[in-house]
Amino acid sequence: MNIKSVKGMNDIFAPVVNAWSRVEDTIKKHFRTYGYSEIRTPIVEYTSLFTRSVGEATDIVQKEMYTFLDKNQESLTLRPEGTAPVVRAVLEQNLLNSDPTQKLFYLAPMFRYERPQKGRYRQFHQYGVEVFGVQSAYMDADIIAMLRALYERLGLTNLETRICSLGCDNCRPQFRESVVKALSSKKGELCPDCQNRIEKNPLRVFDCKNESCRKISKNLPSPLDFLCSECQNHFDALRDNLVRLKTPFVVEKHLVRGLDYYNRTVFEFTTTQLGAQDAVGGGGRYDKLVGQLGGPSTPAVGYAGGTERLMLLLEEKFLATENLSVFIVAPDEAGLKEGFRMAFALRNQGVSVELDYSGKSMKAQMKRADKLQARFVIIIGQSELDRGIGVIRNMQTKDQKEVKLTDLEKEIIGSLN
């Protein structure tokens, strides 16, 4: 039997992984500049964390989680998203006691049993931020503007920022009721899943990909028509703050994201360049979640973007081979002994060096140096050692020179700079 990678889960290797690293480094740097510190949580959590936060009636919990029993019969789940684990960690480590405002970021693999296609995988990666303890609409605008700036810094164009408000516990019930009413009158035209959703979680109809359900949801009421005065003020302040920062956005009246924990602000970045999977990332406020998971009532807002989709847009731009600085060609055992020592001396001074241990011919070693695109080759064999020299060959110009063995390391470092 041929062993293959699991469907929808990909290997990432050079040179593509180099592009990933560069993009990830830029993301981390950007988040740090905006005051976020990194958090790493386990890949596996108790299943109840996600059922209680993401929501029992969501697609993620109903259909997409990798859930299994461990040897102790505990139900565990590979994390499908990053927010609930971060909230769990913040509470477990009592971080809000030492500082009630926490700004955290993560880059991590996520797992969802979805139908794989371009831009949608079963293991994928997200970069995300979570802010705890800030109620103000300044913070919502701060996150949105920060992400917009990140995408500009990475060179993304054709990006649209969509915002909406889902209201709060005071005003959402009226919105929900009006959605239930509208859906009930169209029940026969909904897919079986959505027919069930009318009772359980009518707002999830907005996420349904079924053509007929999409047509219906386009004409459903908008949460924006039901906002109480506090939620309306919050949404107005968010818009004012975005205008103040000259951050472009559009109000999308039906933006209702696929997780249950959001309230008030929700937002999404989309692009026209990804085809069907047009969401670059999304986020929103989740002021109730910390309390729901047993913590002190704490306002919160966050965002997560998909790294694979980002790389579909950016890979070519960030693609670069990591050039090898030096290949040491040692055609005999005496040369290899000295080359071996020298390789480590250079590597420990930060120079990338490769050499061949298999005793291949000089020609074969030169060929490998070419293949690895080494900038310089050092040739050392018995005859060079006898004369106390080594040969440095510039692989671009093909110039060669003899250098005293004692000066070789200094000389090569000088040539590289």
Nearer to ligand AMP, 150 or 336 (CB): 150
Least CB distance to ligand AMP at residue 388 (A): 59
**Distance from the first to the final alpha carbon of the chain:** 50
Distance from C-alpha of 345 to C-alpha of 329, rounded to nearest angstrom? 16
Least CB distance to ligand AMP at residue 53 (A): 12
Nearer to ligand AMP, 119 or 381 (CB): 119
Distance from C-alpha of 328 to C-alpha of 354, rounded to nearest angstrom? 6
Contact 367, 326 (CB under 8 A): no
Contact 108, 307 (CB under 8 A): no
Least CB distance to ligand AMP at residue 284 (A): 9
Distance from C-alpha of 284 to C-alpha of 261, rounded to nearest angstrom? 9
Number of C-beta neighbours around residue 286 at 10 A:
27
Please identify the residue of the shown chain whose CB is closest to the bound ligand AMP.
306
Nearer to ligand AMP, 80 or 331 (CB): 80
Nearer to ligand AMP, 125 or 186 (CB): 125
Least CB distance to ligand AMP at residue 266 (A): 10
Nearer to ligand AMP, 58 or 217 (CB): 58
Contacts of 378 (CB under 8 A, 6+ apart): 326, 327, 328, 329, 339, 342, 390, 391, 392, 393, 408, 412
Distance from C-alpha of 90 to C-alpha of 86, rounded to nearest angstrom? 6
Distance from C-alpha of 399 to C-alpha of 300, rounded to nearest angstrom? 62
Least CB distance to ligand AMP at residue 66 (A): 12
Nearer to ligand AMP, 121 or 318 (CB): 121
Query: What does the binding site for ligand AMP look like in residue numbers (CB under 6 A)?
Result: 81, 112, 114, 119-121, 124, 126, 257-258, 279-282, 304-306, 308-309
Least CB distance to ligand AMP at residue 304 (A): 5
Angle at 253 between CA 249 and CA 255, to 5 degrees: 80
